[in-house]
Amino acid sequence: MLHELAGQVRSGQIDPLDLVEESLRRIAADNHNAVIRVEADAAREAAATHPRIGPLAGLPLLVKDLARCEGSVTTMGSPFLRDAAVDLVDDLVVARLRAAGAIVVGRTNSPAYGHAAFTANTLFGATTNPWNPQRSPGGSSGGSAAALAAGLAPLASTSDGGGSVRIPASACGLVGWKPTLGSVGRNVLPTWIEFSTQGATAATVADVVLQASIITGLGSGDWLSVPAGTCDLTPARPARVLACRTFRADVDPAIEAAFEATLATLAADGLAVERVEAPSDNATFMAWLTIATAELAQRLGPERHRWDELEASLVSLLRLGDSVTAADYIAAQRLRHEVGARIDDLIGNDSVLVLPTVNVQSWPAAGPTTDHAGAVTGDPTLATNTADLNATGHPAVSVPMGFDQAGVPVGLQVVAPRFRDGLALGVAQVLERTQPWPLVAPGFTPFGV
């Protein structure tokens, strides 16, 4: 879709201003609280003077409210930044998307500091899922994913520190790519220094690959980043598909049924599907949590006297992080290496690991996440299988594989060898062909004029 729409702009068939006006019209009519700030005047001005060049020529772009965006305000969903100054520079990914021709039309909602797997905060309220407004679009990129599922814009930025690309992609019926750590350079370190990366989310694999080709590359000062071209983004079929049912204690029967049906689809297409024991478990999640909460508490240390003004879910993470010792932090880092090596050895250089993106039925729009699945109840660590791959740095793609009992989509998570992201995208491409999904939620129209 992106290639065709931008091509019509480059050829003169479509005026960028018409695309901007259409996006603004759709945003104004939407009632899912996906977009929390509109940059109408700046967008119209950019469209009027647009050179009509670039792979994303003239395409409206929504930017997640965790990323800096020149001329806009980044609040990170926090009352501490309610009156923040206008950004003077772009985050690197925003700059690269703009350089490719995209036009920023607004900002999308996020939980405060991206701390949750639901999208709600005290500044802007909760974002609802276009597939079922009673349910969450996931988090923390839930605003962007909901906007895409409702057809509000052709582009919306997403980022992932513990699943924040993949969880919303799963819940909104989209393809969500978390790259190999380091593939997408950063010009400012995020709160979660070695976990967070910008990614790409779209309705089609081709649209994800196009965005990925634009945003990858070195970041000034980012010692984790690698040159563009290091990461192989070309979709390809893996030698084997290694399947495990979950990284957690259990998985909901409806999710598992969709997983089994999708494995059968892959096998019917000729892929070699093998069952394996899970290479990760709750110990990895707890290591991720130890590091993530410690870094969050350090980031908000200067505001310690105001922590109680924040959401209870965020305060509990801050208090946990404040209790982490140096020994705890280092032990968690060592476990990251062990689990990463285990996954490397399992998938080698030519195979992928697949499992559900989430283990549970969808949760309320304002949270919390569901804490029960199968025979397990009251387990707050149960909901997702995503943070483990932020800890190890492996690329992972969520691709639609079915629905839960509330009619909310669920995703298959495909994990590839580091810097061979194309193997995960290749499996997504197989499923796109063999069990296609809608481009938008029911009742909505794919973006266009």
- Give yes or no: 164 in active site: yes
Residues 122 and 244 reside in one and the same domain: no
Contact 173, 163 (CB under 8 A): no
Would residue 313 count as lying in a domain?
yes
Contact 43, 24 (CB under 8 A): yes
Mean pLDDT of 382-387: 98
User: Tell me, what's the pLDDT at 437?
Assistant: 98
Mean pLDDT of 414-425: 98
* pLDDT tens-digit readout, 133-191: 999 999 999 999 999 999 999 999 999 999 999 999 999 999 999 999 999 999 989 99
* pLDDT tens-digit readout, 45-66: 999 999 999 999 999 999 999 9
Mean pLDDT of the chain: 98
Mean pLDDT of 76-89: 96
Pairing of strands 155-156, 197-198: unpaired
Residue located via tokens 């052709």: 154
Confidence tier at 373 by pLDDT (50, 70, 90): very high
Residues 6+ apart with CB under 8 A from 369: 116, 117, 118, 360, 363, 380, 383, 384
Mean pLDDT of 280-285: 98
Of 180, 215, 250, the last residue of a domain is: 215
- Give yes or no: 140 in active site: yes
Residues 194 and 246 reside in one and the same domain: no
Distances (CA, A) of 225 to 25, 93, 160, 341, 387: 38, 13, 16, 20, 20
Q: Is 141 helix (H, G, I), strand (E, B) or coil?
A: coil
Residues 207 and 307 reside in one and the same domain: no
Contact 133, 380 (CB under 8 A): no
Residues 339 and 376 reside in one and the same domain: yes
Of 165, 200, 215, the last residue of a domain is: 215
Residues 198 and 246 reside in one and the same domain: no
User: Tell me, what's the pLDDT at 422?
Assistant: 98
Residues 85 and 169 reside in one and the same domain: yes
Q: What are phi and psi of 7, to 5 degrees?
A: -60, -40
Would residue 85 count as lying in a domain?
yes
Of 172, 199, 215, the last residue of a domain is: 215
Residues 312 and 379 reside in one and the same domain: yes
Confidence tier at 213 by pLDDT (50, 70, 90): very high
Would residue 139 count as lying in a domain?
yes
Q: Whole domain around residue 48: which residue ranges?
A: 2-215
Tokens encoding 124: 């802007």
Closest CA to 129 of 398, 359, 366, 445: 366
Q: Which of 23, 72, 78, 140 is catalytic?
A: 140
Residues 6+ apart with CB under 8 A from 368: 118, 313, 380
Q: Between vectors from CA 402 to CA 393 and to CA 383, what angle results, nearest 5°?
A: 50
Distances (CA, A) of 81 to 115, 175, 300: 15, 31, 12
Nearest-10 Cα torsion for 129, 134, 138, 144? 30
* pLDDT tens-digit readout, 103-133: 999 999 999 999 999 999 999 999 999 999 9
Residues 6+ apart with CB under 8 A from 323: none
Q: Which of 23, 141, 144, 164 is catalytic?
A: 164
Q: Is 359 helix (H, G, I), strand (E, B) or coil?
A: coil
Residues 284 and 375 reside in one and the same domain: yes
Would residue 6 count as lying in a domain?
yes
Q: Which of 23, 64, 141, 362 is catalytic?
A: 64
- The one-letter code for the residue type at 346 is L
The fraction of the chain above a pLDDT of 70, given in percent, is 100
Closest CA to 401 of 248, 244, 174, 209: 174
User: Tell me, what's the pLDDT at 145?
Assistant: 99
Residues 430 and 372 reside in one and the same domain: yes
Task: Give the number of domains in the chain.
Answer: 2
Task: List the CATH number of the domain containing 270.
Answer: 3.90.1300.10
Would residue 427 count as lying in a domain?
yes
Mean pLDDT of 278-301: 98
Residues 269 and 166 reside in one and the same domain: no
User: Tell me, what's the pLDDT at 272?
Assistant: 98
**DSSP designation for 204:** S
User: Tell me, what's the pLDDT at 221?
Assistant: 94
Query: How far apart, in whole angstroms, are the C-alpha atoms of residue 181 and residue 177?
Result: 12
Residue located via tokens 């939980």: 111
Residues 189 and 250 reside in one and the same domain: no
Closest CA to 68 of 237, 179, 188: 188
Would residue 348 count as lying in a domain?
yes
Would residue 440 count as lying in a domain?
no
Residues 11 and 61 reside in one and the same domain: yes
- Give yes or no: 11 in active site: no
